[in-house]
Amino acid sequence: MLLSTLNLIESKEALKDMPMGKIVINTLNAHSYNMAQKDAIFTKALVSSDYLIPDGGSIVKACHFIKASSRPKERIAGWDLFVFEMHQNESMSMARKKGEKMRRVMFMGSSNQVLEKIKENAATDYPNLEIVTYSPPYKSDFSADDNAAIIDAINEANPDLLWIGMTAPKQEKWTYQHWTDLKINCHVGNIGAVFDFYAGTIQRAPLWWQNHSLEWLYRLLKEPKRMWKRYIIGNPLFIWHIIKEL
């Protein structure tokens, strides 16, 4: 997968241009870019995205460095996408006509504990949205029955917005492989860690770190055992991959 050929959303303002209907929105950062170099299905999932957002300052800088076809003006984090979509749906739900149902947002992924926190927070932040959740089995690979149960739950809920949070590349690959099975007509966003950020089970980096493209360093300092490979090895690897695109 070549960064130079990807079509990325170039600003937060451009999120407003996404049409209604069934579309998949994925995020790209240095870590997911590295993983895609050795995972053909993950590459297909990212390349086939209806919309791909640059979830990392390194992606934004690299696009300009190699003079890619898309040169984002700013980083658009998964959190930015989440807030935009939730506010948009809240506004649409508030403007609904008498007798119309509230817009329904579904969170598929994570644990029941995290999902309950999400429902509690959303009840305060987005009181005009109906929140439904589904926690899939905690395993690396789903069985055919697991997949069928997830698909049935999504189709039965028939949400107006669907969030999937199972970490990359699992969430993107699952959505790509089961896209035609999902009989829904809404935006679908794969946003991983945002589930934990919104639930409050993991603290997002303070604004200063975010504004200086150092959110990765904050996560490394907070969780060194889990994150050291991703950043200590992954960051130089990303630079190497980008240099090869020159």
169 vs 213 pLDDT, higher one: 169
Environment class of 165 (CB within 10 Å of its CB; exposed 0-12, middle 13-18, buried 19+)? buried
Looking at residue 98, what is its pLDDT?
83
Task: Quickly state the pLDDT bin for 218 (edges 50, 70, 90).
Answer: very high
- Could you report the per-residue pLDDT of 99-128, keeping only the tens digit for each? 889 999 999 999 999 999 999 999 999 999
Instruction: Tell me the per-residue pLDDT of 61-99, one tens digit each, with 9 for 90 and over.
Output: 999 999 999 999 999 999 999 999 999 999 999 999 888
Which pLDDT does position 75 carry in this prediction?
Answer: 96
Distance CA 25, CA 14 (A): 13
Mean pLDDT of 187-199: 96
Contact of 190 with 26, CB cutoff 8 Å: yes
pTM for this one? 0.95
Tokens 């979509």 sit on residue: 85
Helices 40-47 and 170-177, axial angle in degrees (round to 10): 70
User: Minimal CA–CA distance to 186: which of 85, 84, 52?
Assistant: 85
The residues, ordered by sequence, that sit 6+ positions from 167 with a Cβ below 8 Å of its Cβ are 192, 193
The fold of 79-193 is Rossmann fold (3.40.50)
Q: How far apart are CA 176 and CA 193, in angstroms?
A: 19
Output the average pLDDT for the chain: 96
16: pLDDT confidence band, cut at 50, 70 and 90? very high
Q: With 90 as the cut, is the pLDDT of residue 192 above it?
A: no
Domain ranges of the chain: 1-76+228-246, 79-193
